[in-house]
Structure 1
Amino acid sequence: MHCQEQRKRSELARRAFERSTSTPQPNMTQAGFGWLLEHFRAKAGLSIAELSRKVNCDASLVSRFEKGERVPSIDMVERLSQLLGADRLLIDAYHRVSWYQEGEIHPKWFRVYAGRERLAVEVLKYSIALVPGPGQHRDYAEALFRRGEVDPDPAVIAEKVAARLTRQERFLADDGPRLVMILDEAAIRRTVGGPQVMHRQLAHLRHLMRRPNIVVQIAPLELGERTPAASSFTLLTMSDGERHLYSESLNSGHFTTDPREINRFSRAYDRLRGSALSVADSAALIRSVMEGLVNPMQRTGAPSLRHLAYFKSASYSDSNGGDCVQPAINLAESHGVVLVRDSKDPNGPVLTVSPTAWAAFAEAAGSGKFGIA
């Protein structure tokens, strides 16, 4: 069984390495680097114990390098590269890895969680207040990192955002781990960073929902006390089947592997998934919230809404504006909704309706169902 898991891990790492070397972008996963190190060690005919003796370090450390669980120093990589006859391949690969992880800029208790999340094959999240890290849009994450900062350092904020996006990469890979996020409805209705940022965040969630390994469901507000817990929590499943339960308080993170607690929260999570909206209904609710954000965006003068092309009737809209409604139906530019304005007041309020509702209205109006000549 152990050999099968080892072969599976090695195969996943090999594919990660091949993906990273086939892209024009200078990136590589830690798993890809680990596979390359293991490849050169095997090619040199050395066991982990033999290699560790030659570089004067503990065998467990070399093993963790190969598993992508530990970051080697550049000096160590240069010694390994020379010893294994890898030319500069190991060194070049090392410089292509985004070693900087989000956990490194947070307290130790979160670093422990971030390290375990990187190795999990399944991540189940329940969030009551905010969209969790793996599902955050860049601008949403930046707004959260700026929260409570009187004079935030732009460089520090940029580093934190980059680290969070790095944390998301493994979930976006073709063979990425399974990620299920159940969000309390409050999390998608709480505006973070203003209406434009929140709109982009919700659009990002809808994009993630199209990925085969990612599931997003909304727990509606009417569930009330039937939700499983008063705080957010995460269930992690590791490659060896071990499971972890993680939650956070104000200034601490809490882990447990107690089977009784794991089973209790797992059953609660399963019940919640049954009570939550389906994926399709969740996507529809997210779209509805997005539509509600468009009018606030218009009031704040969002450039993407200010210069849209509205359809103008040649026969009814004269030079004085006429007495018509004018739609803007370029959904790509109008954030997926139809915008409607009064032709007599083109700079006035703009209504938002769904494409389905507009199509039904246009069909009814065109067929004379409203009794208007």
Structure 2
Amino acid sequence: MPQRRAITGRSQEPRARFAEELRLLRHGRGVSLRGVAEVVGWDASQFGKMENGHTLGGPEIVEALDQYYGTGGMLLTLWELAVADPAQFKERYRRYMVLEAEAVSMWHYATSNLPGVLQTPEYAAELLKAGGLAGAELEAQVAARVGRRELLLAPDGPQFRTILSEAVLRSPLSDRGEWRAQLSHLAAMGQRTNVIIQVLLCSAGLHGLTNTDVMFLRGPGGRTVAWVETGYAGELVQETTTVDQLQLRYDRVRDTALSPGESREFIERMLEEAPCEPSI
């Protein structure tokens, strides 16, 4: 087994530290990227991008590399530090926002929260407060999130589809009036020609995106990227093979969701059932 190096104590930021460790381990083994790919799986180009710091990959590929190099979970620990690094998250998210603004079509799956482009200010505020924001920072973030709705409202706005897990619609705001307003906004947005809303019932069971929010963006040149977000981190996925794999999972989820018409009726029923009196 290779000598295990300390995870902490280096001046490098987590992403660079992770990439360097991958390079050192492979060079120490004396194998090529193709050689690693032949044993571990995945494309050799994926490992090259990970060693160059262009992508972090996913937990499955990192666990496979841990087994290949015999590093006892060290690589997975470094990967977790890298994906959770606030500076890296902000930089990736800034890049995502640029791509979102340029997108000609977008499609999305939500596990527990409405996508930002469909949120009312009150929904955005309660969600961001739950994440620890307050004061001026909270106000700025709410304004920025609500401003993203202009993407869909513009005359030449992108085509947008979202599949909402039923859990999203079963998680109301604390204020009943604000929750009704959010449901009404959702129903109204679903009437737009460039917006398709579908609901995935809980009875559909487990699927390939059970714990993963994902937004696909197709740019003017036809290239598609994905923003994948879990409860603790987000990652901009640009590698074609990985995006294709996510798209296949998405297609299978869409196949089991209610149709747009059935989903509209589901949301309207929830709106009828939502209490009218304000919370006390």
User: How high is the TM-score relative to the length of structure 1?
Assistant: 0.48
C-alpha separation in 1, matches of 2:102 and 2:154: 14
Identity across aligned pairs (percent)? 27
Does the aligned pair in 2 maintain the 1:109–1:252 contact within 8 Å?
A: no
Deviation of the 1:250 alpha carbon:
4.2
SS in structure 2 opposite 1:289? helix
Does the aligned pair in 2 maintain the 1:140–1:193 contact within 8 Å?
A: no
SS in structure 1 opposite 2:156? coil
Pair 1:250–1:279, CA change in 2 (3 A): closer
RMSD: 2.0
Deviation of the 1:252 alpha carbon:
3.1
Matched ranges for 1:121-140 at <5 A:
121-140=104-123
**Could you tell me which residue of structure 2 aligns to residue 197 of structure 1?**
178
Q: 1:157 aligns with which of 138, 143, 148?
A: 138
Does the aligned pair in 2 maintain the 1:140–1:201 contact within 8 Å?
A: yes
C-alpha separation in 2, matches of 1:220 and 1:185: 5
The residue type equivalent to 2:112 in the other structure is: A
Which structure carries more relative contact order (alpha carbon 8 Å, separation 6+)? 2
C-alpha separation in 1, matches of 2:113 and 2:233: 18
**Could you tell me which residue of structure 2 aligns to residue 144 of structure 1?**
127
Can you list the C-alpha shifts for 1:45-96, whole angstroms capped at 9, x where unaligned? Answer: xxxxxxxxxxxxxxxxxxxxxxxxxxxxxxxxxxxxxxxxxxxxxxxxxxxx
**Could you tell me which residue of structure 1 aligns to residue 12 of structure 2?**
none
**Could you tell me which residue of structure 1 aligns to residue 245 of structure 2?**
264
**Could you tell me which residue of structure 2 aligns to residue 371 of structure 1?**
none
Asked if 1:181 is matched to 2:159, the reply is no
The residue type equivalent to 1:300 in the other structure is: S
Can you list the C-alpha shifts for 1:131-156, whole angstroms capped at 9, x where unaligned? Answer: 01011111111111222548x21x33
SS in structure 2 opposite 1:225? coil
Can you list the C-alpha shifts for 1:261-302, whole angstroms capped at 9, x where unaligned? Answer: 2222222222222211111111111122222221xx43737x
SS in structure 1 opposite 2:277? helix
Q: 1:211 aligns with which of 192, 195, 202?
A: 192
Pair 1:234–1:148, CA change in 2 (3 A): closer
Deviation of the 1:157 alpha carbon:
2.3
Asked if 1:115 is matched to 2:98, the reply is yes
The residue type equivalent to 2:277 in the other structure is: Q
Q: 1:298 aligns with which of 272, 277, 280?
A: 277
The residue type equivalent to 1:287 in the other structure is: E
Does the aligned pair in 2 maintain the 1:182–1:217 contact within 8 Å?
A: yes
Does the aligned pair in 1 maintain the 2:211–2:230 contact within 8 Å?
A: no
**Could you tell me which residue of structure 2 aligns to residue 281 of structure 1?**
262
Does the aligned pair in 2 maintain the 1:124–1:234 contact within 8 Å?
A: yes
Does the aligned pair in 1 maintain the 2:125–2:138 contact within 8 Å?
A: yes
Pair 1:300–1:249, CA change in 2 (3 A): closer
Can you list the C-alpha shifts for 1:318-371, whole angstroms capped at 9, x where unaligned? Answer: xxxxxxxxxxxxxxxxxxxxxxxxxxxxxxxxxxxxxxxxxxxxxxxxxxxxxx
C-alpha separation in 2, matches of 1:293 and 1:175: 34
Pair 1:228–1:157, CA change in 2 (3 A): closer
**Could you tell me which residue of structure 1 aligns to residue 150 of structure 2?**
169
SS in structure 2 opposite 1:216? strand
Pair 1:299–1:245, CA change in 2 (3 A): closer
The residue type equivalent to 1:145 in the other structure is: L
C-alpha separation in 2, matches of 1:231 and 1:269: 11
User: How high is the TM-score relative to the length of structure 2?
Assistant: 0.64
Deviation of the 1:107 alpha carbon:
2.3
Does the aligned pair in 2 maintain the 1:120–1:177 contact within 8 Å?
A: yes
Pair 1:251–1:268, CA change in 2 (3 A): closer
Does the aligned pair in 1 maintain the 2:176–2:278 contact within 8 Å?
A: no
SS in structure 1 opposite 2:150? helix
Unpaired segments ≥5 residues, structure 2: 1-88
